[in-house]
């Protein structure tokens, strides 16, 4: 699938350029609240840390201590911008027009990105608490998140019967809690990344106790 992506376009962590991009992205995201509804990190974090960097830049006196403080704060803002670029790509789903609304640059040429393949559940075990289940998966190439859906009707062919109960989970932390005791549930898992979700696993059944 060919999609456009949001990029920082910062060859290095130049403090002034990072500060300028931080301000640009903050202004752009806050100007489009209906598109960028709930960012992570929050825009308040971006604004707060960008202002701190601005204050340090304005008080620069050439001392080693102040220069290090500027570099440290530049790293903080840069890290937030990287996370917001990933958030933007999730919202935009390859749409160049949405990416440009964010204040980030868009890569010049759409590139091909792979979504994960079909997920495979290895086994299910009782969780750490009562009425919980741990899910063990085969790791998927290109997957950086996992989604768990449950079904209490056993009708796997009805899309409406599946309910997402865990989104953006880590493969090492796939555990469902507070399940209905003694009621058989069916679950399936999908691997995903910024570009989409792969094929869901075959359903597996479990009876919480």
Please say if the pLDDT value at position 1 is more than 60. Answer: no
**122: helix, coil or strand?**
strand
The domain in which residue 154 lies consists of: 121-206
CA distance 140 to 144: 8
Per-residue pLDDT of 73-127, as tens digits, reads 999 999 999 999 989 988 988 888 999 999 998 886 555 567 888 999 999 999 9
- Other Cβ atoms less than 10 A from the Cβ of 90: the count is 17
pLDDT of 201: 93
Q: What band does 13 get if pLDDT is binned at 50, 70 and 90? A: confident
pLDDT of 132: 95
55 and 29 within one domain: yes
Single residue among 112, 138, 157 that ends a domain in this structure: 112
**23: helix, coil or strand?**
helix
Q: Which residue has the higher pLDDT, 23 or 40?
A: 23
pLDDT of 38: 84
Domain containing 141 — which CATH number?
2.60.40.10
107 and 28 within one domain: yes
> What residues have CB less than 8 Å from 54, skipping those under 6 apart?
19
Per the prediction, the chain carries an average pLDDT of 89
Alpha carbon 17 to its chain's center = 25
91 and 165 within one domain: no
Single residue among 52, 80, 112 that ends a domain in this structure: 112
Per-residue pLDDT of 131-158, as tens digits, reads 999 999 999 988 888 999 999 886 777 7
What average pLDDT does this structure show over 187-200? 86
């Amino acid at each position: 699938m060919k999609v456009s992506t949001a990029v920082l376009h910062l060859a290095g962590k130049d403090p002034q350029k990072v500060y300028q991009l931080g301000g640009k992205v903050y202004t752009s995201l806050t100007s489009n609240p209906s598109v960028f509804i709930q960012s992570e990190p929050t825009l308040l974090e971006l604004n707060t840390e960008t202002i701190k960097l601005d204050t340090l830049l304005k008080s620069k006196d050439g001392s080693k201590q102040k220069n290090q403080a500027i570099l440290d704060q530049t790293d903080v803002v840069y890290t937030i911008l990287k996370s917001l670029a990933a958030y933007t790509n999730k919202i935009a789903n390859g749409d160049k027009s949405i990416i440009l609304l964010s204040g980030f640059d868009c890569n010049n040429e759409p590139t091909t990105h792979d979504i994960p393949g079909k997920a495979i559940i290895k086994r299910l075990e009782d969780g750490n608490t009562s009425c919980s289940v741990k899910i063990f998966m085969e790791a998927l190439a290109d997957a950086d998140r996992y989604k768990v859906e449950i079904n209490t009707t056993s009708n796997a062919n009805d899309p409406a019967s599946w309910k997402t109960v865990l989104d953006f989970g880590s493969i090492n932390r796939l555990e469902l809690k507070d399940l209905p005791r003694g009621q058989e549930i069916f679950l399936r898992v999908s691997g995903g990344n910024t570009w989409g979700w792969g094929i869901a696993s075959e359903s597996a059944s479990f009876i919480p106790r």
